[in-house]
Structure 1
């Protein structure tokens, strides 16, 4: 008599599956899947029933909201605004200011989850193509390819292509002009060893706050994936493309929420008064394009050892918008007017017919209490009727290129599960901010395409190398993990001005 371990149970299950399939008719058994991942740290895995609880219009982030200790907060039910999205797990957060949780897609690093040049999993994966999410609570997942995995990691796993050929069309509609078109084609088995699929979706929603012209989300998304199985080698390739334009939801204080729970302090009607129109919803925007591609090579060195190598490439570009109710006066270090770099020597909200900046009428101290950019300089009552209001359209541009590779070796020797590998990535990130003049602030926020001031332009070059090794020893009912990992991160900043 002997005790069965997790490994022996798995071996018996595989042996039974193989022996059964050898005698079964192909029409009786289509697919057998045996999955096991013993871990000795806090972890959760999304089950298919949990995926069914979410609508297809929802982002893939929403599916982990049902897990204990995790809270997902998005501006609307569809995840229609990255700016307002926050993820919290056991006190650690991802929001517009913090990145304390790691995120990967099929084990491939996402390039950061922050608003300024990062991308969460919803930029890479449609809900219909999500198989599961592996959640590691804490820092015990030693191979996670992330620089933000202080409080845990989320690995979003995409579906494998089907063995059967099929084409799926889906249409979803909802309140607040929510519509979604989705199509997916499965090739089935081709070339005797390959399965693949390609999908495309178009999602549109309006902001649920307000009415009329108040912005929303316009999202186009495409994915392609293939799996090719050879004798001892499995090759997987995946490509995703996402192009989205989002109107933001503003953050409010607790007092503001208690006063008006269904208003985020943004407006949806253009008034022609810049002081109020700085809160016009359509002037608060997030535009992003993301392309992520990887190839994964899994080679079975023996029945108990596997090596995996995954090169990848990611391109991110876009901008964030806001409409300040004034024009700036940029000057260089000598106090001379400039269009690049320097500092803002002052701002003005009204000009005369010749375009010259005007000061408030003498003795006028009247200010407008809402919103935050206030003061007598922005109050129309402090100027003659001939004064012309002016505004800026401020763009913050983001661009990132990442090229990297992950490698992992796994082997079992008796009671020892050995795992070792590395992650290397070279990343170039550009960030700049320019100010455009609104052509006629009394009519709308249409702006001059040529900026009157580029405030800053920075380039960041980052080289990341992580290596790790771990031995997991099964001592009866006791699991002992011994591991080590090392990050070598080199960051260089170049200020163009």
Structure 2
């Protein structure tokens, strides 16, 4: 049920002046430093034939759609469609322990390394599970242990944003509600104009638990993208005693990672405490040159207020400079082999190839497909700031007031070598195409929780203002032998300012939501939740600059779109009808607001061809909505945990961007469609002896498109065709054993065949993926505490498989250069100690 994202569009260094001055950086930094002193004591039918689609010609490669439809040259067959959803689940567990209910949800499931307690539609992935992964691994990858969740990446740690994706019951990562300490992160896709990926919002070591809901999502989650489930991430509080932690990791392909943390301990009688942490990682690439570098700073302050209230402040700075793995196609894999990386750092080879002085291997299928297997480089450079203040105040013994004030800032440059546009001021036969996106989000959430009799009533509002910008520029590469080539991570103006701009977009989005929910316990073992939310989202703006020679039109889209719904209901119940036995259900209607994306391949009203097409959409398009139903049974005791869950979803008004042409000259058609999903999950965890846990799960998902798709090229018969990019069947197993200071684990996943084209005439095969690891804790050694050594092997049997699919859009029929290969076998070791 994935969607389409727009091209990576970035603006150069000299365009920073065009961006607004950003007080957020100073504000967030000052809040983190000064707070200790300050606080001391509906119904559009799917892709109907006969509807005139809005088109968007794009003249250059446009990266990472959330899910776009690509119409490759060739015959049309039956159907194509979008991703699906996934079922409920159960995960490897840790010690049997109860947890309080998750706010806005039925109950929670604790997933630890040995046992887990599952309740309702939520899974709590604990720190113990996350510690089984190599330090620095994306927390999204830990969620992949759950049935119904599919995470894939080009790198073993899952930090390459261009090549990473996650689905929850078939819902793509721009269709989930995501928060960090109550801060809405929204869209998790690459180059998003409406969110921040969790990888860039907090150091993974500092996240204590992840609450993954595979149900329909709760009304309390502040999000504009929730269609099927939520992911809530929580950072750990500073420790009560003065101390710290240091870890150093090494890995294959010269990878390394350093992490350091300092905890202040309680500073006074009121309990004031803080922590700060720094991480620096440089993950080597298993194919081609370059590296994937990230560094981050976290800071958190906790200030108790009286006996029952608390204030918490969180701040994160992240800097990311990554070369990406180059996109491939079925034709490239069959004709050129498994590894076809960028040509970087061999500038002379790339130069001579682009100039026509050098021939490199190719095939007829590659040429007919319009693939570009040989580019110099591609990647990204992002800087992000995130900050928030959380207040949990006990006003009376029955009434609590919870509020979050937050802000985020993101500046991103997304680039690749463009062989279709030679440099203007040098003799280089290609240039560096750079997209610059910028967004600043400020907002707050506030809610009152009142307890009366057997009822817990929750009422609150959320407001957010998002200022978004996107621009596209070209920079000169040097004449061969007359200077160092540009790096994909910048700087870009070494050989002059941008010699060409394609377009510029500016938007301002205001989001408002209200929720009201009652959680009722008529008897001790029955919990009933009923509520609704109202959503109003308005985006104004659009094109601020247009280059007709590039876009081919006189006016690009500019105007206002509003998505609103006064009543989006949610009802759920959890019934423990016998000891160890639980039955639950959840149902809700959800809405996602309009995506904000510039001219190009995207599922946004502003991505269409021109102003006339945009005006037509203003009067004909409705926001995407869906109904999601989930029902499940769970058995939990000391030796056995088992679960069975089924779900159904109907999505309507889903905008898809059907792309025709080649990767360097696509034409996007924005069309509505529907998706119907049915699925089931089953999981079992056995703990036959102390320290041993054996976990197995299976998932089946059947998602199909509800209508055909009409483009300028004709009708594609997608009705009844299976959703692209998401496997119908998944099997997962985990074996873990802990004895004294030793802990070992073995994981294996199977993903079935995934359809690549919307008409289902191309697909990628299923695959097995296994990983293993061990850790030994020596305890106290000298001044060091919990001195530990761990070793992990990713892709143990060196399987060859396709990870990310559709990053440039999916073909309507046939093949397209929009696949990413999964990482080869790699080894990682880490030494860590506390003090």
TM-score band by shorter chain is 0.7 to 0.9
The yes-or-no answer on 1:138 pairing with 2:215 is yes
SS in 2 for 1:62: helix
List aligned pairs for 1:21-36, cutoff 5 A. Answer: 35-36=99-100
* Aligned partners of 2:418 and 2:430 also within 8 Å: yes
SS in 2 for 1:209: coil
The yes-or-no answer on 1:68 pairing with 2:147 is yes
The yes-or-no answer on 1:37 pairing with 2:115 is no
Match of 1:241 in 2: 317
1:163 to 224, 227, 240: 240
2:498 to 451, 454, 466: 451
Shift of 1:475: 2.7
**Normalised by the size of structure 2, how large is the TM-score?**
0.46
Deviations 1:242-285 (A, max 9, x none): 00101112333345446667425533433022538976676201
* Aligned partners of 2:260 and 2:278 also within 8 Å: yes
How far apart in 2 are the matches of 1:404 and 1:172? 37
Match of 1:319 in 2: 413
* Aligned partners of 2:428 and 2:476 also within 8 Å: no
The worse-fitting range, judged by mean Cα deviation, of 193-202 and 72-81 is 72-81
Shift of 1:122: 0.8
How far apart in 1 are the matches of 2:202 and 2:155? 18
SS in 1 for 2:100: coil
* Aligned partners of 1:203 and 1:218 also within 8 Å: yes
Match of 1:113 in 2: 188
Match of 1:285 in 2: 379
How far apart in 2 are the matches of 1:79 and 1:281? 24
* Aligned partners of 1:247 and 1:282 also within 8 Å: no
How far apart in 2 are the matches of 1:188 and 1:216? 37
Between Structure 1 and Structure 2, whose CA radius of gyration is higher? 1
List aligned pairs for 1:244-283, cutoff 5 A. Answer: 244-254=320-330, 256-257=332-333, 262-268=338-344, 269-270=346-347, 271=349, 272-275=351-354, 283=377
Deviations 1:7-40 (A, max 9, x none): xxxxxxxxxxxxxxxxxxxxxxxxxx98411643
| Pair 308,449 (structure 1): closer, same or farther in 2 beyond 3 Å | farther
| Pair 350,414 (structure 1): closer, same or farther in 2 beyond 3 Å | closer
Deviations 1:52-95 (A, max 9, x none): 2111131222221111211111110122310111101111112x
The yes-or-no answer on 1:392 pairing with 2:470 is no
2:478 to 418, 439, 450: 439
List aligned pairs for 1:45-84, cutoff 5 A. Answer: 45-84=124-163
Match of 2:466 in 1: 427
Structure 1 unmatched runs, 5+: 1-32, 328-348, 356-387
| Pair 204,140 (structure 1): closer, same or farther in 2 beyond 3 Å | closer
Match of 1:195 in 2: 273
**Normalised by the size of structure 1, how large is the TM-score?**
0.76
How far apart in 2 are the matches of 1:187 and 1:350? 54
The yes-or-no answer on 1:496 pairing with 2:555 is no
Deviations 1:292-336 (A, max 9, x none): 011111101223331111111111001100111133xxxxxxxxx
Match of 1:101 in 2: 176
Shift of 1:399: 0.6
* Aligned partners of 1:180 and 1:204 also within 8 Å: yes
SS in 1 for 2:418: coil
SS in 2 for 1:122: helix
The yes-or-no answer on 1:206 pairing with 2:284 is yes
Shift of 1:111: 4.7
How far apart in 2 are the matches of 1:350 and 1:239? 41
How far apart in 2 are the matches of 1:107 and 1:281? 41
SS in 2 for 1:451: coil
Structure 2 unmatched runs, 5+: 1-96, 107-119, 361-371, 487-493, 546-835
The yes-or-no answer on 1:474 pairing with 2:538 is no
* Aligned partners of 2:343 and 2:377 also within 8 Å: no
* Aligned partners of 1:84 and 1:250 also within 8 Å: no
Shift of 1:494: 3.7
> How much is the aligned-residue C-alpha RMSD, in angstroms?
2.4
2:396 to 287, 302, 324: 302
SS in 2 for 1:427: strand
1:226 to 289, 301, 324: 301
The worse-fitting range, judged by mean Cα deviation, of 300-309 and 141-150 is 300-309
Match of 1:217 in 2: 292
Shift of 1:45: 0.5
* Aligned partners of 2:444 and 2:464 also within 8 Å: yes
| Pair 405,440 (structure 1): closer, same or farther in 2 beyond 3 Å | same
What is the number of residues matched between the two proteins?
A: 403
The worse-fitting range, judged by mean Cα deviation, of 147-156 and 406-415 is 406-415
* Aligned partners of 1:267 and 1:279 also within 8 Å: no
How far apart in 2 are the matches of 1:321 and 1:312? 30
SS in 1 for 2:311: strand
How far apart in 1 are the matches of 2:123 and 2:98? 18
The yes-or-no answer on 1:462 pairing with 2:509 is yes
| Pair 483,37 (structure 1): closer, same or farther in 2 beyond 3 Å | same
List aligned pairs for 1:335-354, cutoff 5 A. Answer: none
* Aligned partners of 2:161 and 2:189 also within 8 Å: no
* Aligned partners of 2:459 and 2:515 also within 8 Å: yes
* Aligned partners of 1:60 and 1:126 also within 8 Å: no
* Aligned partners of 2:165 and 2:189 also within 8 Å: no
